[in-house]
Chains A and B, each alone.
Chain A
């Protein structure tokens, strides 16, 4: 049999760095990913979709947010969608899962809120052994009960869980939601579908993280995310065949540049445009900039990178700014003498001394003076 393994949809996620224009697009795309997953399943002949937790980003989403993914899944009546609560949307009494049950889930959507195994498909050849979270942080292994979970003889056991397989520096006693690496073996699972990590990751032949279907952060960049897994299981003992399929639309990139010349600026621009030459609007970039530029090159940087790329890309987030590298030519641009030249010299001095903020402000002021002086000389005086 074939199934699709996905997780961490995190519907309703709010991207704080996004402005009012970008945010709804990013949120909408996470919903669209559900349709892409459904179509992938149909195309690959999978009958079931396992969502390994964190369907929602918030424990208390708005009514519309709550219903939206359900309505997307409803559009695939031929698929059976198996959901478990993750750490973002854990099952608290009277919480969102009770709300969902209260409003009535479509027949093809199954919420596994207790550890009881359930048939994976209509035929009953495979069974889901779920381990959803009842609270955000569970001390111990949420999958511990899988070993003893009863399923019919000869059925393929597919584990569905949310958590980490690694503790991060703390000892095991306080580890939370940590899943035993050998759980697939100890619980006699044909496949263990995991959620929580946002990049697709193979733990072993039977244990995989699917990652999130639409990337939601710069950190993972190209290392994962934006994918779903197609899992083929030929029998209870057979090793699963797992293939990775793209489901994401947006490309998130993190870059950094040290700018010292006009060439650097132009090279940076070319590099960022090269991420998706066909459709830069699919690209979100977080850029760390440092270095020092002359006034002219700063102007180039402002025009090409900040203004140009800033408009071309879906989102360009820049941390830092190039410093001002003053040259005699720059100062001569303000005239050989006179009040403006004197002011420029004073600003150059400020830009080269004092704390970072003073330098930054003085640099920006000098740039501004440069522009204004040019404007004024061109007859654009006040």
Chain B
């Protein structure tokens, strides 16, 4: 098929009629700027071939000029299989179609039908474009990126071409239709994710629900069976509890227990009465016995008291004699004590006097010693004062001496310096010339003379020689020497010495004076009390003076104090001449002897006094004992007499009340009564029933409780049974077994349905898979020619690459080094492949004698220069076989295409 011309009028921007000129076989290029109307021309091309002239669809209305409702008119000249044709269409208002084929002209729907047959299109849905492969080959702006989306008729066309090539039916279409049916059937049982739905799902859910119901009912049945078992147990227990014989026996047992307790109580009362009677009789026997015994006791006591009184009378006499003797001895000892104490007092007084004398003598001795010490202190202090004065008189000290010595050394040094510079005169006098040489007025002897200054040597008889020493520093040295000598004299004057030697002597004297002062101070320090203020060791010169003064004051104070104490002692001395007085004048030994004597006398007197007092104590105890014994015996005698009196009175009164014989008879009678009462008690004890009252009570309580419990249990059992019965009735009324059987039937039915559904799904899957596999195999077979058609161009663009094509003729993968899915490729690559696929399809169509023609609108915009060149080559090659129309706004890019240039020119009228 080849397009030879396209005329449009009243189509979008083209109001006035225009014609696309220059169309011819091979490559055609319409290069024009944006908004020129290239896309409009493509839209017009599609419209005139693919839209029904009578259509009112949006696609048709969009052809109208903007803001205008005029009728778009389009005409196309083309040739198919060598026949020239022209199609003219008018849309919207007064729509029309006219096809001129060779010499034949068709109008309206006839024209449409013929046109579609001519170029291999099928009518689309009402109002839309006709469907066919051309639709995919005429690529609009922005569609070049995607691969051709082939409609069913388009696919059928391609497939027919391919099948014709194979020379066999592939059955692809049939398989596809069957597959569609299978999918529909499958969709009834499975959702998109392969999960069961519809009756399949209902069966699964029904089965689960039935199983759940069965489990629930089973649980209820188990509960019912438990209830039935419990009911049976209740009935058994009820039969057991509700036994009349047993109840009668329980009541009889209770009555018997009560009777036993009553018997026990009666016996107990009898026994207590007998015991009381026995106790009473025993008490009476005891009372009579006591009366008899009391009388006997009284008699015995009376006899005893009488004998005791006699004994007491003897004892009393003896005790009184002992008491008198003890009193006499006590008086004698008291006197002895008094005498000894007097002697002791006298001895003490003597001792006191001797001790007072001794104290006086000691005080006087102390005073003497203190006075002597004071005198020595006085003298030592005077010595220190003298030595200090001598030291103070010395003008020389070590510092001053050092200064003098330094000055002396300076003088010596100056002199030595002067001499070193001096001119030396070695004089050797000949005999007899002595006194002839006079230097500066001084006669020279043989020897050496140092001249440090100008000198005049006069040689007697010879003349005068003026000597001027050549010393350069002569004047300075002389000045220095003079200064040093001045300094020495100054310090010597200050020290009051004539020369250094005198100074040394003065320094020695000073050291002597210093030593003397230290010796005097040391002597004084030894006289000072060691523990005095400052102490001996710390005694400095200045402080020593104060210490000395304080020590002397202290010594004087002590002398005064001693004087006072001596006077006081003398005043206190007992007056009167005695042995001690005389001895006081004598030597100290006598005083000491007197003191010893007095002391011993005193100790002797003390010992004697203590002995006497000791003696006084012991006899005192004897006396007290004698007095106590006497008092006790007297008391006993008195009480014995009272007791005896009372006894005699009681006895007499008792006998007056009841004679001894009567008492004895009463005792015998009471004893007989007691024996009788004891026998009665024994009789009653022997008749005692078994058991105790407490035990009998316990038995009664137990029996009562048994009866009560049984009643309670009966009540509770009946209650339990009523509850169980209600539950059982309810459960049985539900017909559990029947319902379980019903649910089991349901479950099985659902299971069967589920299995059937599963089988159906398996069958459909099996069928689907078989068909898919078969179709794929078939597709691969008949896709081979298409792949072959695409392959050369592909290899030119992507060396060593291959493509995988799908049943819908799309490329799914590009196989280069890697296997790349189409969707992941770059925009440029995708566009290039899309163009190649279209070329391939067009080639396929052309080769099978079908109309084929390619339109690319603004395509290949993503390609780089290299690929674009190769694409141009590919397009050029393809253009040898078919017409290719390229619309672009980028003229410069496509100059290398070498295409036929198209123009749009105004014409008079289209239709």
A residues with a Cβ closer than 8 A to B are 12-20, 23, 57-66, 92-96, 99, 335-344, 346-347, 350, 357, 360-362, 364-365, 368-369, 372-373, 375-377, 381-382
Instruction: Give chain B residues whose Cβ lies under 8 Å from the Cβ of A346.
Output: 770, 773-774
**A64 to B180 alpha-carbon distance, docked (Å):** 52
Best-surrounded residue of A18, A58, A372 (most CB of chain B within 10 A): A372
User: In this complex, what residue of B is CB-closest to A360?
Assistant: B759
Distance in Å: Cβ of B520 to nearest Cβ of chain A: 148
Distance in Å: Cβ of B417 to nearest Cβ of chain A: 145
**A94 to B759 alpha-carbon distance, docked (Å):** 48
Distance in Å: Cβ of B833 to nearest Cβ of chain A: 27
Distance in Å: Cβ of A299 to nearest Cβ of chain B: 15
User: In this complex, what residue of A is CB-closest to B737?
Assistant: A58
Contact A99 B732 (CB under 8 A): yes
Q: How many residues of B contact A (CB 8 A)?
A: 51
User: In this complex, what residue of A is CB-closest to B768?
Assistant: A365
Q: Does B636 contact A (CB under 8 A)?
A: no
Contact B181 A61 (CB under 8 A): no
- A338's partner among B232, B728, B744, B778 (CB-CB below 8 A) is B778
Known: A15-B745, A62-B733, A93-B235. A342 touches B228 (CB 8 A): no
**A20 to B749 alpha-carbon distance, docked (Å):** 9
Contact A58 B178 (CB under 8 A): no
- Report B769-790 residues with CB < 8 Å from chain A CB: 770-771, 773-775, 777-779
Binary flags per residue of B157-181, CB closer than 8 Å to A gives 1, else 0: 0000000000011111011011011
User: In this complex, what residue of A is CB-closest to B221?
Assistant: A60
Known: A19-B749, A61-B735. A340 touches B171 (CB 8 A): yes
Contact B738 A62 (CB under 8 A): yes
Known: A60-B737, A350-B766, A375-B181. A96 touches B749 (CB 8 A): no
Instruction: Give chain B residues whose Cβ lies under 8 Å from the Cβ of A338.
Output: 168-172, 174-175, 778
Distance in Å: Cβ of B500 to nearest Cβ of chain A: 150
Contact A60 B224 (CB under 8 A): yes
Distance in Å: Cβ of B783 to nearest Cβ of chain A: 13
Distance in Å: Cβ of A278 to nearest Cβ of chain B: 30
Instruction: Give chain B residues whose Cβ lies under 8 Å from the Cβ of A59.
Output: 737
Q: Does B741 contact A (CB under 8 A)?
A: yes
Jot down 26 A-B pairs with beta carbons below 8 A, ordered by A.
A14-B741, A20-B749, A57-B741, A60-B734, A62-B738, A63-B735, A95-B228, A95-B732, A335-B174, A336-B169, A339-B171, A340-B174, A342-B774, A342-B777, A343-B175, A343-B773, A361-B763, A364-B763, A365-B770, A368-B763, A369-B771, A372-B178, A372-B182, A373-B174, A381-B180, A382-B181
Distance in Å: Cβ of B719 to nearest Cβ of chain A: 17
Instruction: Give chain B residues whose Cβ lies under 8 Å from the Cβ of A57.
Output: 738, 741
**A350 to B765 alpha-carbon distance, docked (Å):** 13
Known: A58-B738, A62-B735. A340 touches B178 (CB 8 A): yes
**With A339-B172, A372-B178 already in contact, 9 other A-B pairs whose C-beta atoms are closer than 8 Å:** A16-B744, A61-B737, A62-B739, A65-B735, A338-B170, A339-B174, A340-B774, A343-B767, A347-B767
**A375 to B741 alpha-carbon distance, docked (Å):** 44
Known: A62-B739, A335-B171, A382-B181. A340 touches B771 (CB 8 A): yes
Contact A342 B778 (CB under 8 A): yes
Q: Does B668 contact A (CB under 8 A)?
A: no
**A350 to B744 alpha-carbon distance, docked (Å):** 36
Q: Does B273 contact A (CB under 8 A)?
A: no
**A111 to B779 alpha-carbon distance, docked (Å):** 80
- A376's partner among B178, B184, B742, B748 (CB-CB below 8 A) is B178
User: In this complex, what residue of A is CB-closest to B736?
Assistant: A60
Distance in Å: Cβ of A96 to nearest Cβ of chain B: 7
Known: A18-B745, A93-B228. A60 touches B735 (CB 8 A): yes
Instruction: Give chain A residues whose Cβ lies under 8 Å from the Cβ of B184.
Output: 382
- B744's partner among A14, A60, A344, A368 (CB-CB below 8 A) is A14
B residues with a Cβ closer than 8 A to A are 168-172, 174-175, 177-178, 180-182, 184, 221, 224, 228, 231-232, 235, 725, 728-729, 731-739, 741-742, 744-745, 748-749, 759, 762-764, 766-767, 770-771, 773-775, 777-779
Distance in Å: Cβ of B463 to nearest Cβ of chain A: 173
Contact B171 A341 (CB under 8 A): yes
Known: A60-B735, A338-B170, A339-B171. A376 touches B766 (CB 8 A): no
Instruction: Give chain A residues whose Cβ lies under 8 Å from the Cβ of B739.
Output: 62
**A14 to B777 alpha-carbon distance, docked (Å):** 53
**A229 to B321 alpha-carbon distance, docked (Å):** 155
Contact B732 A337 (CB under 8 A): no
Contact B733 A372 (CB under 8 A): no
Instruction: Give chain B residues whose Cβ lies under 8 Å from the Cβ of A339.
Output: 170-172, 174-175, 771, 774-775, 777-779
Distance in Å: Cβ of A98 to nearest Cβ of chain B: 9
- A16's partner among B174, B224, B745, B766 (CB-CB below 8 A) is B745
Contact A335 B175 (CB under 8 A): no
**A57 to B744 alpha-carbon distance, docked (Å):** 15
Contact B766 A361 (CB under 8 A): yes
Distance in Å: Cβ of B227 to nearest Cβ of chain A: 8
**A373 to B171 alpha-carbon distance, docked (Å):** 11
Instruction: Give chain A residues whose Cβ lies under 8 Å from the Cβ of B779.
Output: 339
Instruction: Give chain B residues whose Cβ lies under 8 Å from the Cβ of A15.
Output: 745
**A23 to B749 alpha-carbon distance, docked (Å):** 12
Instruction: Give chain A residues whose Cβ lies under 8 Å from the Cβ of B178.
Output: 340, 369, 372-373, 376
User: In this complex, what residue of A is CB-closest to B176?
Assistant: A339
User: In this complex, what residue of B is CB-closest to A366?
Assistant: B767
Instruction: Give chain A residues whose Cβ lies under 8 Å from the Cβ of B775.
Output: 339, 343
**A12 to B766 alpha-carbon distance, docked (Å):** 43
- B738's partner among A20, A65, A365, A373 (CB-CB below 8 A) is A65
Distance in Å: Cβ of B210 to nearest Cβ of chain A: 12
User: In this complex, what residue of A is CB-closest to B772?
Assistant: A343
3 shortest interchain CB distances as A-B pairs: A338-B171, A62-B735, A58-B737
**A377 to B733 alpha-carbon distance, docked (Å):** 61
Contact A347 B770 (CB under 8 A): yes
Instruction: Give chain B residues whose Cβ lies under 8 Å from the Cβ of A92.
Output: 228
Distance in Å: Cβ of B896 to nearest Cβ of chain A: 46
Instruction: Give chain A residues whose Cβ lies under 8 Å from the Cβ of B744.
Output: 14, 16
Known: A62-B733, A338-B170, A372-B181. A365 touches B763 (CB 8 A): yes
Instruction: Give chain A residues whose Cβ lies under 8 Å from the Cβ of B774.
Output: 339-343, 346
Instruction: Give chain A residues whose Cβ lies under 8 Å from the Cβ of B749.
Output: 16, 19-20
Instruction: Give chain A residues whose Cβ lies under 8 Å from the Cβ of B231.
Output: 93-94
Distance in Å: Cβ of A24 to nearest Cβ of chain B: 11
**A358 to B238 alpha-carbon distance, docked (Å):** 66
User: In this complex, what residue of A is CB-closest to B743?
Assistant: A14
Contact A58 B759 (CB under 8 A): no
Distance in Å: Cβ of A90 to nearest Cβ of chain B: 12
**A17 to B747 alpha-carbon distance, docked (Å):** 11
Best-surrounded residue of B731, B742, B774 (most CB of chain A within 10 A): B774
Instruction: Give chain A residues whose Cβ lies under 8 Å from the Cβ of B732.
Output: 60, 94-96, 99
Instruction: Give chain A residues whose Cβ lies under 8 Å from the Cβ of B725.
Output: 94
Instruction: Give chain A residues whose Cβ lies under 8 Å from the Cβ of B759.
Output: 360-361, 364
Instruction: Give chain A residues whose Cβ lies under 8 Å from the Cβ of B172.
Output: 338-339
**A339 to B224 alpha-carbon distance, docked (Å):** 64
Distance in Å: Cβ of B737 to nearest Cβ of chain A: 3
Distance in Å: Cβ of A341 to nearest Cβ of chain B: 6
User: In this complex, what residue of B is CB-closest to A358?
Assistant: B766
**A364 to B235 alpha-carbon distance, docked (Å):** 63
Contact B175 A14 (CB under 8 A): no
**A65 to B168 alpha-carbon distance, docked (Å):** 70
Contact B728 A94 (CB under 8 A): yes
Contact B171 A337 (CB under 8 A): yes
User: In this complex, what residue of B is CB-closest to A102?
Assistant: B729
Instruction: Give chain B residues whose Cβ lies under 8 Å from the Cβ of A365.
Output: 763-764, 766-767, 770
User: In this complex, what residue of B is CB-closest to A92?
Assistant: B228
**A241 to B389 alpha-carbon distance, docked (Å):** 190
**A335 to B178 alpha-carbon distance, docked (Å):** 14
Distance in Å: Cβ of A125 to nearest Cβ of chain B: 38
Contact B766 A362 (CB under 8 A): yes
**A23 to B775 alpha-carbon distance, docked (Å):** 47
Contact B742 A14 (CB under 8 A): yes
